[in-house]
Amino acid sequence: SFKPSFNASRSALARSGGILAHEFSHYLMKKEREELMMSTEINCVDPMLPKKKEELLADVMAAYLLMPPNVLLEEMKNYKGKMKENNRYPIDSVTFLRDIGNAVQISTYHAFLCYQYVRYYLCNLYEQNVKIAELSSGKSENSEMIEGAKKWLEEYGELFK
């Protein structure tokens, strides 16, 4: 009898998790349940080329469900450190996305989507924290926010170089 290997079942689970998060995002966006049953053929020319902006928004929402920014930052930090220890740095992007996907238990395809969307958010967050930290040169009533930005930059700033 056929017994799927751990990798085969994990891969199927990873793909289904991405699909589930995408469809859950539709559920969150839609007011009427009947609209949830629309098939991919109606909404898409190809799963990667959506006809409707709603499909892209569902992908973005799924990305944040599957790979929250704080999780991605921690995984990147750990991964970068591990690769430097093993003298395997810089890292090729395919290996990175496969390994990050495995770490958060999603497919490489969904890891790529998540990384692209979350990366945009993190870049904006980094720029915002740099600007906030620069306020510390003058007097400011937002000293707690400034200290928070500095801490964040100390923790994760290296990932943006």
Q: Whole-prediction pTM value?
A: 0.60
C-beta separation of 113 from 59 below 8 A: yes
**Cis peptide leading into 90, omega within 30 of 0?**
yes
Per-residue model confidence (pLDDT) at position 63: 82
Distance CA 80, CA 98 (A): 14
C-alpha torsion angle, residues 108, 61, 149, 158 (rounded to 10)? 10
Distance CA 58, CA 23 (A): 7
Burial zone of 43 (CB within 10 Å; 0-12 exposed, 13-18 middle, 19+ buried):
middle
Residues of the chain scoring pLDDT < 50: 1-8, 32-33, 36, 39-40, 44
Per-residue model confidence (pLDDT) at position 26: 77
- Each residue of 14-53: pLDDT tens digit? 667 777 888 877 777 775 445 545 544 555 455 567 778 8
Distance CA 77, CA 99 (A): 13
Per-residue model confidence (pLDDT) at position 33: 46
Helix (H, G, I), strand (E, B) or coil at 89: coil
Per-residue model confidence (pLDDT) at position 6: 40
Residue in 14, 13, 35, 41 with CA at minimum distance from that of residue 23? 35
Strands (E), 41-142: 44-46, 49-50
Distance CA 154, CA 151 (A): 5
Per-residue model confidence (pLDDT) at position 4: 38
